[in-house]
Copies of this chain bind each other. A is one copy, B any other.
Amino acid sequence: MSFQKIDDLGRKLEALEHALAILGADEATHMAVGGGEKRAEAMASLAGMYHRQATAPEIADWIADAEAQKLGEEQQAAVREFRRHYTNLTCLPVDFVERQTNARMRCEQLWRDLRAKNDWAGFLPALDGVIALAREEATMRADVLGLEPYDAMIEQHDPGARTASIGPVFSELKGFLKEFVPEALGVQEERAARRPLKALSGIYPVEKQRELGLAMMAATGFDLSHGSLSVSHHPFCGGVPSDVRITTRYRTSEFLSALMGVLHETGHALYEQNLPKEWSHWPLGKARGMAMHESQSLFVEKQLGRNPAFWRWALPVIAKHLGEAWTLEDILPHVHRVERGLIRVDADEVTYPLHVILRYELEEDIIAGKLETIDLPAAWDAKMREYLGLSTIDTPGDGPMQDVHWAAGAFGYFPSYTLGAMMAAQQWAALTREHPAADSDLAEGNFDKINDWRRDKIWSQGSRWSTPELLERATGEKLEASHFINHLRGRYGEV
């Protein structure tokens, strides 16, 4: 039985994924500093075993045979996702993947060194090489998938997402934000004039912040018997669904950044912990792509965690753990702080999409061959001045050298962040239509109905539908900028 062969293979691959996921999380949290070299060797070797086993030629026959078998609907879906996975893994020639891996690794190493030095000239040749290979990759994937080249790259991160539908939505959002950012900043200034900002400072021991984080995780639905909270340099959500590892980092001088980080990663973790367990060894059982994953983290961080109703419940919890009684009027200006800045990862929810749309537009032109690597600093600067009134022409480290994504060859990834933000707002809008008491639930720290909705609509679906289909089934609509726009207006606009 060919389906059985696929099923058995899935279990072997799951074991290797398990090892890679735990070794990866361990590396960032518990590994001894000198253990890195051997860890890298071991993980490269395991990744090689994974690739060899997942791309074996006989699998093509198993899939074809399984497609011809009489299978139940779930198994058909499993085979469909297995094929998608297999096609994406095998459509590039091995020698191309090797060349690309080398070019990416070299470019990432250079990036680590040269970004802080703003050395664009030194970085350019390596990035140019990675971009040439990305264009080649996009063309090859496009041929196999029957898509446009940039769409074929987006497909790797968000199955079913296409520029034809993303483009108009991003355009609408951009048009709105170019006018709205000044408005939100004006509102903020006005409020600060009426009530001066209480500085976010104090002494908050790490152990107490950790206890607060664990309490918030548990309250928002994180299953502490299937996951844990550690410390790492960069916060992440890793591990496996049966043991989700999330991390944060602490500053003893303030508690908000660690706490918001914990909420963000908890959002990712809830998705992983609630995926269908019986499918865990199939691609079908995985989360549906980056944008949907980001929608789950942003749902908890932004839709819930920056909602004033949430803070009615949260402030006493914080007071209990940290011994400091903030008022809603004093904390919300920090939770809702808006600022024009150069750095994407530091951006707030109002300005963040402009950072992403800038990259999306540049990426699209890069892959299409309309923009050359050498012209990136000027193109970046022009958009940055237009969207946020800031210039990066003298600081390429804050411009096209800002993120590791392009150095690592990850084109088509950036849109996920803002697609996620929009999808989170659309999910919250749909949820509150069905469950109008969601805000008062939040104010009571009651996440049950909110999580029930999300489990039913998103988490339990695994990779059953494409990203756009999953969103439409969950919310009753295709992707719409209006929900996110209304969300921002309501939280940051003039009343």
Within 8 A of B (CB), among A44-96: 44-46, 49
Residues on the B chain within 8 Å of A32, using CB: 224-228, 242-244
Question: Which residue of chain B lies nearest to A30 when distances are taken between CB atoms in the complex?
Answer: B30
Question: Which residue of chain B lies nearest to A243 when distances are taken between CB atoms in the complex?
Answer: B35
Assess whether A26 is in contact with B33, with CB atoms less than 8 Å apart.
Answer: no
- 5 closest A-B pairs by beta carbon, nearest first, are A35-B243, A15-B45, A18-B42, A38-B242, A34-B225
Partner of A33, one of B30, B33, B37, B225: B225
Q: How far is the CA of A23 from the CA of B43 in the complex (A)?
A: 13
**Given A32-B227, A38-B240, A243-B38: A19 in contact with B23 (beta carbons within 8 A):** yes
A12 at the interface (CB under 8 A from B): yes
**Given A23-B19, A39-B18: A242 in contact with B34 (beta carbons within 8 A):** yes
What are 26 A-B contacts defined by CB distance under 8 Å? A11-B41, A14-B45, A15-B42, A15-B46, A16-B46, A18-B38, A18-B42, A19-B42, A22-B26, A23-B23, A26-B26, A30-B228, A30-B230, A31-B243, A32-B224, A32-B227, A32-B244, A33-B225, A34-B225, A34-B242, A35-B240, A35-B242, A38-B241, A38-B280, A39-B242, A49-B49
Provide the A208-245 mask, 1 if CB < 8 A to any CB of B, else 0: 00000000000000011111101000000000111110
Contacts A18-B41, A35-B226 known; 5 new A-B pairs at CB < 8 A? A19-B19, A30-B230, A32-B243, A34-B243, A35-B240
Residues on the B chain within 8 Å of A42, using CB: 14-15, 18-19
Assess whether B26 is in contact with A242, with CB atoms less than 8 Å apart.
Answer: no
Q: How far is the CA of A30 from the CA of B241 in the complex (A)?
A: 15
Partner of A243, one of B39, B225, B244: B39
Question: Which residue of chain B lies nearest to A35 when distances are taken between CB atoms in the complex?
Answer: B243
Q: How far is the CA of A39 from the CA of B245 in the complex (A)?
A: 14
Residues on the B chain within 8 Å of A19, using CB: 19, 23, 42, 46
Residues on the B chain within 8 Å of A29, using CB: 30
Provide the A388-426 mask, 1 if CB < 8 A to any CB of B, else 0: 000000000000000000000000000000000000000
Residues on the B chain within 8 Å of A35, using CB: 226, 240, 242-243
Residues on the B chain within 8 Å of A227, using CB: 32
Residues on the B chain within 8 Å of A38, using CB: 18, 240-243, 280
The interface centre, meaning the residue of A22, A39, A43, A44 with most chain B CB atoms within 10 A of its CB, is: A22
Question: Which residue of chain B lies nearest to A13 when distances are taken between CB atoms in the complex?
Answer: B45
Instruction: Tell me the minimal C-beta distance from A430 to chain B in angstroms.
Output: 31
Question: Which residue of chain B lies nearest to A225 when distances are taken between CB atoms in the complex?
Answer: B34
Assess whether A45 is in contact with B225, with CB atoms less than 8 Å apart.
Answer: no
Q: How far is the CA of A35 from the CA of B11 in the complex (A)?
A: 16
Residues on the B chain within 8 Å of A225, using CB: 32-34
**Given A18-B39, A22-B26: A45 in contact with B12 (beta carbons within 8 A):** yes
Residues on the B chain within 8 Å of A14, using CB: 41-42, 45
Residues on the B chain within 8 Å of A16, using CB: 46
Instruction: Tell me the minimal C-beta distance from A246 to chain B in angstroms.
Output: 11
Q: How far is the CA of A240 from the CA of B32 in the complex (A)?
A: 11
Residues on the B chain within 8 Å of A240, using CB: 35, 38
Residues on the B chain within 8 Å of A11, using CB: 41, 45
Instruction: Tell me the minimal C-beta distance from A454 to chain B in angstroms.
Output: 20
Residues on the B chain within 8 Å of A44, using CB: 15
Q: How far is the CA of A12 from the CA of B41 in the complex (A)?
A: 10
Residues on the B chain within 8 Å of A26, using CB: 22, 26, 30
Within 8 A of B (CB), among A229-272: 230, 240-244
Question: Which residue of chain B lies nearest to A15 when distances are taken between CB atoms in the complex?
Answer: B45
Residues on the B chain within 8 Å of A45, using CB: 11-12, 14-15
Provide the A156-169 mask, 1 if CB < 8 A to any CB of B, else 0: 00000000000000
Residues on the B chain within 8 Å of A23, using CB: 18-19, 22-23
Residues on the B chain within 8 Å of A30, using CB: 26, 29-30, 228, 230
Assess whether A242 is in contact with B18, with CB atoms less than 8 Å apart.
Answer: no
Instruction: Tell me the minimal C-beta distance from A54 to chain B in angstroms.
Output: 14
The interface centre, meaning the residue of A33, A37, A44, A223 with most chain B CB atoms within 10 A of its CB, is: A33
Question: Which residue of chain B lies nearest to A29 when distances are taken between CB atoms in the complex?
Answer: B30
Question: Which residue of chain B lies nearest to A280 when distances are taken between CB atoms in the complex?
Answer: B38
Q: How far is the CA of A46 from the CA of B46 in the complex (A)?
A: 10
